[in-house]
Amino acid sequence: TSILIANGPNLNLLGTREPSIYGAETLSDVEDMCRAEADALGVSVSFFQSNHEGALVDVLHDARGTHDGIILNAGAYTHTSIALRDAISGIGLPVVELHVSNVHAREDFRHTSMIAPVAAGVILGFGVQGYPLALRAILGKIGGRAA
């Protein structure tokens, strides 16, 4: 079982970006946490980050045939991107939408997600701990071991 963990715009700044909202852990810390969780679960993980919408569309397309599911923190594109939503619908792989912060406790424009209706599920508000949680959660959607 192979899971893609894809992060969108500004998530490369994790750890230094508004730490009161997003915490002190960096994206590389997140990667370490996910690799440890993946080892414990007996699955493999790949990581991708881009600040570009089209690059995220491409990586979703490329996941067909190479991965069994995707964990996607699309950052601000969550709230705007019909292209990402269509990509998720088009590839037919389970996608867990993830947010570090509780977007519903924040500005109104963060309360809408273009991708939630086509996601297998959503995890948000648990800080970076949401990433390993999402790894467990997605396995339940692809018939893996942990749920």
Q: Which residues bind ligand DQA (CB under 6 A)?
A: 10, 73, 75-76, 78, 99-101, 103, 110
Q: Please indicate if the annotation marks 106 as binding a ligand.
A: no
Q: Please indicate if the annotation marks 20 as binding a ligand.
A: no
To ligand DQA, the closest distance from the beta carbon of 101 in angstroms equals: 3
To ligand DQA, the closest distance from the beta carbon of 20 in angstroms equals: 12
Active site residues: 22, 99
Give which of 98, 30, 27, 91 is closest to 58, Cα–Cα.
Answer: 91
40 alpha carbon, distance to own chain's centre: 19
- Helix segments in the chain, DSSP class H: 19-22, 27-41, 53-62, 82-91, 130-141
Q: Please indicate if the annotation marks 110 as binding a ligand.
A: yes
Q: Are 75 and 8 in contact (CB under 8 A)?
A: yes
Of the two residues 75 and 94, which places its CB atom closer to ligand DQA in the complex? 75
Give the residue nearest to ligand DQA (CB). 75
Of the two residues 1 and 80, which places its CB atom closer to ligand DQA in the complex? 80
Handedness of CA 128, 130, 96, 63 (dihedral sign): positive
Per the annotation, binding residues for substrate are 73, 79, 86, 100-101, 110
